[in-house]
Amino acid sequence: MTHTIDTVALPATSPGTCRQIRFHRFKGGSGPRVYVQAALHANETPGLVILHHLLAAVIEADRKGEIQGEIVLVPYANPIGLSDNVLGNQIGREALDGGGNYNRGWPDLGQLAVSRLAGRLGDDQMANQVLIRAEIAALLAALPRPNEVVAMQLALLSEASRADIVLDVHTELVAVPGMVVGPWSMTRMQALVDRVAPDVVHVTDTPLLFDSASSRIWHTIAEAYPEAAIGQPCVSATLELRGVTDVSDELAGGDAAAIMDFLRDSGVITSPAPAATPWPGTLSPHKAILMQRTPVGGVIVYRQPLGTRVAQGQHIADIIDPAADDPEQGRTPLFAAREGLLYAYILNHLVRPNDIVVKIAGSDVWTPEAPE
């Protein structure tokens, strides 16, 4: 067996504390290198169970000698967020020290590398890729690590930037299964879409998420040097696997099995995979997504189940004012501002004015109607 575990300690933020990340490595040949992590948003616990099942499956494949390539699994990417528990409520998405969203603020390594590569790239794609990977590693090693969060980000990105395939497992709050894929990765990620069979696939180049920070490097450099042979050796995706309360062995085991079949499709694991069913859905560009807000505060009650396709103007929710003297006047209806798939709701139904309360995915760019 080839299974090894590396532990990376993060710098202590206060006396007596030290957090660490564990990287499970499997190496069995010259095939592609795959990196999979979960719980970067540490309140999104389904990913922890998915990686639990995935790790067991990869260990079994390693025992059978089926790994033809390298697999790096990170069952929890964010030990800082895992400890962000306030009065029994797991936070984990935003840093409690004011540092912001754990899945934002990634360095744009492609932009940083472009000027360093001037005059150094030619028509030998393999040589170019070796050179670019060396520059990426040098850039990451030189970036400052002023605090624990940045040190964590750079430790994760240093691993992922060396991979051919990067998967980051997340969830929404309450949602149907989805994926987020950069346009430069979509062709090769189609096999993963077929395996996971999500309800919605967002194709977007913004914002710069962990997965796109790992793969957009190559797209940026190729755009800057169109005459050079560069290719797209790294592709990536963010898996949004339902909502934060969808924690079960049955769901997680099915998700892990889909990822394993994708690894077989990609030549990382040699055992055969069952035939995939082509995904029947429609891609949703980023600008086709509507994050609809409530105009008033109160208790939101949804009128349509998730996964419903709605028409523009359809009644999708009511916001109840519990302080209304007349209950008949205590409801504010919420109507869909665009047609599309209702794919995500919120977990806390007590809302404040201007909160995002529903997400709708269309297939074309949505433009808000001008007020009359």
* Per-residue confidence (pLDDT) for residue 367, from 0 to 100: 59
For residue 304, count other CB atoms closer than 10 A to its CB: 16
Contacts of 61 (CB under 8 A, 6+ apart): 26, 67, 260, 269, 271
How far from the centroid of its chain's Cα atoms is residue 1's Cα? 30
* Per-residue confidence (pLDDT) for residue 282, from 0 to 100: 86
C-alpha dihedral sign at 345, 347, 352, 355: negative
What is the homologous superfamily of the domain 4-281 according to CATH? Zn peptidases (3.40.630.10)
* Per-residue confidence (pLDDT) for residue 13, from 0 to 100: 86
Q: For 13-43, give the secondary structure using H, E and C.
A: CCCCCCCEEEEEEEECCCCCEEEEEECCCCC
Chain region(s) in the chain for CATH 3.40.630.10: 4-281
* Per-residue confidence (pLDDT) for residue 370, from 0 to 100: 41
328 token code pair:
């008949």
Nearest CA-CA partner of 249 in 58, 46, 62: 46
* Per-residue confidence (pLDDT) for residue 368, from 0 to 100: 60
Model pTM score: 0.96
The full DSSP string for 305-348 is -TT-EE-TT-EEEEEE-TT-SSGGG-EEEEE-SS-EEEEEE-S-
The C-alpha atoms of residue 309 and residue 323 are separated, in whole angstroms, by: 33
pLDDT per residue as tens, the chain (372 positions): 899 999 999 999 889 889 999 999 999 989 999 999 999 999 999 999 999 999 999 999 999 999 999 999 999 999 999 999 999 999 999 999 888 999 999 999 999 999 999 999 999 999 999 999 999 999 999 999 999 999 999 999 999 999 999 999 999 999 999 999 999 999 999 999 999 999 999 999 999 999 999 999 999 999 999 999 999 999 999 999 999 999 999 999 999 999 999 999 999 999 999 999 999 998 999 889 999 999 999 999 999 999 999 999 999 999 999 999 999 899 999 999 999 999 999 999 999 999 999 999 998 765 565 443
- At residue 208, what is the residue type? L
Nearest CA-CA partner of 338 in 288, 282, 284: 288
3-state helix, strand, coil in the chain (%, to 5): 30, 25, 45
* Per-residue confidence (pLDDT) for residue 21, from 0 to 100: 98
The correct CATH number of 287-361 out of 2.40.50.100, 1.10.600.10, 1.10.3720.10, 3.40.50.2300 is: 2.40.50.100
